[in-house]
Structure 1
Amino acid sequence: MKALKVLHSESSRGWGGQEIRTLKEMLALRERGHIVEVVCPQDAGIGIRSAELGFKVHHARMRGVGDMRSLMSVQALLRRRSFDVLNTHSGHDSLVAGAAARLVGTPLVVRTRHLALPITSLATYNWIPHRVIAVSQYVRRYLISAGVPADRVETIYDGIVKPANIAQSTLRAELGLGSDAVICCMVAIMRDKKGHEDLVSAAQPLMAGRPNLHIVMAGNGELFDKIKGVVDGLGLGRRIHLLGFRTDVPNVLRGCDLFVLPTHQEALGQSYIEAMAAGLPVIGTDVDGVPELIKHDVNGLLVPPKNPDALRAAIVQLIDNPELRIRLGEAGRRITEAKFGIDDMADETIDFYWRGVRRGEHHA
């Protein structure tokens, strides 16, 4: 079977779950012998990281439907490189790169929907792409309810690279904490709707009576200074540790006892998968695609969103019950090994692409 030539487009300049998933997919397909490239704005996070990893990166602003300069630039790129697949990821690149691909006759145009938010343009799901990938069944059901035909949308879950065996996490030494500390971890970009302040509110009343309890928050973002101000204002800077952006998330997770992400909105939740793979019991919120990952009292606990009291009760339940932590953590690890591996995501994506390319050739 010949190698696929795949071009990913991304107009977002940020670096979050969407871009991380796309880059993981690019790496996995390249390892399987396929040719994978990306087109994005000059300062886009995915372009910078892709270039560091040896991918060919092309640049276009892709500012929206009227950006004819970008449209013509991407058209020329698609013609020159003869890609089999264009996979778009955000609104502006779906309009610009997607339209360019349709104009030059790229065999398969795919839109991946990463977010659990209302869609702003049905055209970028119905008119421009041939097929749509949803990152969870929740997102797929939403797209169908919004008017995308069911036979155009397929769910492909996020997959993670199995974490290497870390003999000893360096986190506790870094923070000056001993083995008696109980560390609750949150890994998430610091932006609205992730629930950082909910976790601070839930933990604050526990701190005085539980001197060994510590919270670790890994991630940066637009709300970092605000969250730091809240933590410092409560005098909890020595108990709630803001680590900023980390490249060693498995090492951070391995040094913790439980994982919490009290998100208000989540298409699926890569951080939960990574925490489960590390053997941690997880506390999540009963929203959007999260229940597809976390089954209450099976591999974690689910609480209502925006509810610090319920979150606090779940944290206490896990702190006070080491046996429960072990049971939920082991179940989570088994689930990730069975269902959420990078190989599963890569194989399903390649199969999805080939089916679409062949259908396009058949109808050409």
Structure 2
Amino acid sequence: MKIAHVFHNYYPVVGGLERAVQSLAEELAKMGHEVHVITSRFGAEKRPKEEVINGVYVHRVKALWLRFPDLTYPLEFAEKVLRDADIVHGHSQNSLFTVKLIEKAKKLGIKTVMYFMAIDAFNDHPDSLVRLIGPYYARYVIKGAIALSDIKLVRSLRDQEILSKKYGVEAILIPDGVPEWFLSHRYCGDEFRRRYGIDRDYALYVGRLHPLKGVDILIKALYHIVKTSIDLKLVILGPGDAGPHRELAQKLNVDKNVFFLGFVDEEIKICAIDGSLAVVVPSVCDYVEVYPMIISEAWARSKPIIVTRVGGIPYRVKHMVNGLLVPPKDPKALAEAMIALLQNKELVTRLGAEGRKEIITWSEVATKMLSIYKGYA
């Protein structure tokens, strides 16, 4: 098959959805299909307009960036790629870029797929402008995306439920996977600890250093732990400006307990997960967490997770069954959850083992996706 994926960002731009699109595209290419990705040039200005990455044909088109990434508007449409495709798969109806490309594909008579995500998720956004305008924008794009897509997919039970109850649309649930090597990789946590000189238990954060991700809440939680004379460390991995978070750690006098390691490769990340007490997802609002890949990656390594009740997270994480759930924006609750794991290593083992049962691989995801494609193309 000739398959075209559409999203406003792609490698080398780093993010959960960017990695999901790349993982699915590359898996389909490995299976022998001709896979294209149409994306914008933002974040990849130094890359060629067209190139092949791991067997995937990447097409970067001109676009306007209107303050928020989701408002990226395409000025080009890579029409030949769309016209030649058997199916065009858009990712996120909240992305104006995605919706406009799907609209163009539909006009060309090509079968279309849409991954719906973060539906009606702007109401608790910290940005007042987004809370004010976001719901109107969301209603506009979702109606268009429903009309334009032949196949409706969701990554999370939350979005499946809302689509069904509010919009009368029955969508197919296909969550994201993990690479098979994530399950089979040797344990390397001790190597990570030696490499960075960490000789105590540490909680791990993996993700962008973005206000919606709650890294400041996590540092405040560490403060509540350290002031009780518990020597827990915090390791923070991911791209973004660490300056404000360093300043906060210094202000709270926990800077010696926090390791900012920036963006790391997958090998170091897996070792960081292995060596950790738990992986923490302290995000603050529904919009930012649809189906966090780091939860799957932690579970793949049999590690427990501590997560906030936002977005699709509470639909897959059950408190004290396969993880610990805490309210968002609550440093004390987050601190108590970390202390609970520090004081109960049996719970650490049990939660990690239960989480591993939830895992599917990208190979399994691609196989399911192909079955759906072929049923409609």
Q: TM-score, normalised by structure 2?
A: 0.83
Give 1:190's match in structure 2, choosing from 182, 198, 209. 209
Instruction: Find the aligned partners of 1:316 and 1:177 in 2 and give their Cα distance.
Output: 18
Given the superposition, is the C-alpha separation of residues 161 and 48 from structure 1 closer, same or farther in structure 2, using an over 3 Å criterion?
A: farther
Give the equivalent residue in structure 2 for 1:124.
144
2:128 counterpart residue number: none
Is 1:62–1:96's contact at 8 Å kept on the other side of the alignment? no
Q: 1:246 aligns with which of 252, 260, 264?
A: 264
Q: Which residue of 2 aligns with 1:218?
A: 237
CA positional deviation for 1:322: 0.9
Match of 1:301 among 324, 329, 344: 324
1:140 and 2:163 correspond? no
* Residue 154 (structure 1) aligns with: 172
Which region of structure 1 is more displaced relative to structure 2, 113-122 or 249-258? 113-122
Partner amino acid, structure 2, of 1:177? I
Superimposed CA distance per residue, residues 104-154 of structure 1 (whole angstroms, 9 cap, x where no aligned partner): 211x1112134353425134322222222211010122234553x423x22
Of 3, 15, 34, which residue of structure 2 is paired with 1:6? 3
Matched with 1:278 is: 301
Aligned match of 1:168:
188
In the other structure, the counterpart of 1:37 is 36
Contact 1:268–1:292 (8 Å) recurs in 2: no
Q: In structure 2, do the counterparts of structure 1 residues 99 and 272 end up closer, same or farther at CA, with 3 Å as the change threshold? A: same
Q: What SS does the aligned partner of 1:349 have?
A: helix
Deviates more, 1:169-178 or 1:295-304: 169-178
Whichever residue aligns with residue 198 of structure 1, its letter is I
1:283 touches 1:303 (CA, 8 Å); kept in 2?
Answer: yes
Distance 1:66 1:198 in 2: 30
Q: Distance in 2 between matches of 1:250 and 1:244?
A: 15
C-alpha deviation, 1:66, in angstroms: 11
After superposition, the Cα gap between the structure-2 partners of 1:312 and 1:41, relative to the gap in structure 1 and judged at 3 Å, is same
Say what the alpha-carbon RMSD is for the aligned residues.
Answer: 2.6
- How many percent of aligned residue pairs carry the same amino acid? 23
Say if 1:236 and 1:291 are closer, same or farther in 2 by CA, change over 3 A.
Answer: same
Structure 1 stretches of 5 or more lacking a match? Answer: 358-364
Whether contact under 8 Å (2:72, 2:97) holds in the other structure is no
Change in CA separation of 1:22 and 1:67 when aligned onto 2, cut-off 3 Å: closer
Tell me the secondary structure at the aligned position of residue 186 of structure 2: coil
Q: Secondary structure at the match of 1:39?
A: strand
2:125 counterpart residue number? none
SS of the residue aligned with 1:260? strand
Aligned residues: 341
Structure 1's consecutive aligned runs of 4 or more residues displaced over 6 angstroms after TM superposition are 64-68
Written as runs of structure 1 = structure 2, the 5 A alignment for 1:1-364 is: 4-12=1-9, 14-44=13-43, 51-63=52-64, 69-71=75-77, 74-79=78-83, 82-90=84-92, 91-106=95-110, 108-115=111-118, 117-118=121-122, 119=138, 120-147=140-167, 149-151=168-170, 153-162=171-180, 163=182, 164-169=184-189, 170-178=191-199, 181-210=200-229, 212-221=231-240, 223-248=241-266, 249-264=269-284, 265=286, 266-336=289-359, 340-357=360-377
- Whole-Å Cα distance in 1 between the matches of residues 148 and 239 of structure 2? 34
For 2:46 and 2:38, the matched residues in 1 are separated by 7
Is there any run of 5+ residues in structure 2 with no aligned partner, and where?
Answer: 66-70, 123-137
Residue type at the aligned position of 1:29: L
How far residue 261 of structure 1 moved from its aligned partner, in angstroms, is 0.8
> Following TM superposition, by how much is the alpha carbon of 1:45 offset from its aligned partner in structure 2, in angstroms?
5.5
Aligned-partner SS, 1:251: helix
